[in-house]
Structure formats: structure tokens, C-alpha cells
Amino acid sequence: MFSFVQVRADRMSNKAVRDLIQGLGILIVDNNAYMRRLTRMMLVGLGAKSVYEAGDGLAALEIVRASDPDVMMLERDIPVLSGPELLRIIRSPEIFPRPNLPIIMLTSRANRSDVIEALRLGVHELLIKPTSPKALQDRLISVVSRPRPMVWIGQHYVPEPRRVITPAAVH
């Protein structure tokens, strides 16, 4: 069974993928310095040149305002402002300058309620830690090459839900 992300990345040449990632500014938000370093090493290995790091939610907000990254890699459980609190602020078009910022949530908690909460709060993709360079690359390609428009669903400003693609429709 193919996922949409796998099919999309497979259509791009290795050079095109590397060039796309090389041009991105990527913010890693994780309170664990080792995990930030590991994620940075994977991103640099994939070709990323501009990688920013924040150890808490408040520092992340400052970097978003000052450096205007293209993508945020957000650990759910961070101090000062938690991942969900940070998402609520960022996904507030009336007060935050970058409410459409693509966000990939990194988490070690994959239970159903956490996944539903992350999607409801507006993450574009979810990655379970530890992750692989290939999974990281696939999620980056997904959020950058096929951005979903942001929509209001109830009181939440979120990426438009995906349509389900069946394997028969992928041919």
C-alpha cells in the first residue's frame, strides 16, 4: 500500500529533493539538546542549510518572528509554552503573523488521543520519535511541495483535511 507522501517523493529526483530541502529554513523545537542535535544532523544530511533551534516554546516564537522559517519541527512536550499552547498561538491569524507555518510534530506518544489533539490544533504532519531521515524527508516534501490550504474547522485554524487516496487511485 502506497501513501501519498511516498508516491510524491518517489516522483522527484534525488537532486530535486535535495535542492528543495536545501532552500528551506527549518526550526527544530525540542527541549532535549540531544534530540535537537540528532534532528539537525538528519536535516543537514538531507541537504538543509538553514536550521534553527529552540529549547522551549517562547524561544520558538521569537525565532519564528525574527527568522521566518519555512517549516517548524515541533516536539509536543516542551517547557515554558507546551507544543499545544504554542500551536494555539501560531494558529491564531488575528494575532500571529505566520498562522500558515507548516508544522511537523515530533512525539514519542502515539496514542489516538494525542494524534487527534495534534491534528485538531493544526499540525500538518506527525512523526513518531525516534524517526528516520527517510520519514523526515517524506514529511518535509509533503508539507512543502503539496501544501494544504488552511481552513477554519469550528474554532480551530487547521490544514485542510486530506482526501483519502486508495492504492487503486495512485496508478
CATH number, position 149: 3.40.50.2300
Calculate mean pLDDT across residues 102-125.
89
User: What integer pLDDT is reported at residue 32 of this predicted model?
Assistant: 95
Question: Cell numbers 538553514 correspond to what residue?
Answer: 50
The whole-number pLDDT of residue 40 equals 96
pTM of the entire structure? 0.85
Is the pLDDT at 6 greater than 50? The verdict is no
Residue 7 has what pLDDT?
A: 38
User: Cβ(41)–Cβ(72) under 8 Å?
Assistant: no
Contact present, 13 and 141 (Cβ < 8 Å): no
Quote the domain boundaries for residue 47: 4-170
Per-residue model confidence as pLDDT tens digits over 73-95: 999 999 999 999 999 999 999 99
Counting the structural domains of the chain, the total is: 1
In 15-149, which ranges are E strands? Answer: 25-29, 50-54, 71-75, 103-107, 125-128
How confident is the model at residue 81, as a pLDDT? 93
- Over residues 59-63, the mean pLDDT reads 96
Encode pLDDT of 125-171 as tens digits: 999 988 999 999 999 999 998 889 999 998 889 999 876 555 555 55
* DSSP-derived secondary structure letter, 60: H
Residue 10 pLDDT:
55
